[in-house]
């Protein structure tokens, strides 16, 4: 039991560190951590501006005004909501060393 308490404490410290560095994201441990990390990686690499609040279907805006949905995984599959096709879709696979590989970068209709 102590191992879990210590690990959770360390995870929360990492979340606090990430939130301090990137205050627009929450980096919560409840399933959003990988997604938030991916959004920050993509924002910086693709010159996007993440929306300040969570929005449905799109996470950021490109310099040319296109809306983009960003998805990240550390597994083998990426998805987006079946009830909406994003204008633009960027999917990345995050590696265990913190780097990432672009899986898809293009119109949402093609990915759909």
Residue % of the chain over a pLDDT of 90: 65
| Residue 67 pLDDT greater than 90, yes or no | yes
What average pLDDT does the segment 6-23 reach? 94
Mean pLDDT score across all residues of the chain: 90
- For residue 70, name the pLDDT band (cuts at 50, 70, 90): very high
Alpha helices, DSSP H, located in 1-112: 2-21, 33-46, 108-111
Read off the pTM: 0.85
What whole-number distance in Å separates Cα of residue 18 and Cα of residue 12? 10
């Amino acid at each position: 039991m102590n191992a879990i308490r210590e690990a959770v404490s360390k995870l929360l410290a990492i979340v606090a560190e990430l939130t301090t560095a990137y205050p627009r994201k929450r980096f919560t441990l409840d399933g959003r951590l990988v997604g938030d990390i991916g959004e920050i990686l993509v924002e910086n690499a693709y010159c996007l501006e993440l929306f300040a609040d969570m929005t449905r279907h799109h996470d950021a805006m490109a310099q040319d005004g296109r809306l983009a949905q960003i998805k990240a995984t550390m597994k083998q599959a990426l998805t987006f909501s079946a009830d909406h096709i994003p204008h633009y879709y960027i999917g990345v696979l995050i590696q265990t060393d913190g780097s990432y590989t672009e899986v898809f970068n293009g119109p949402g209709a093609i990915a759909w």
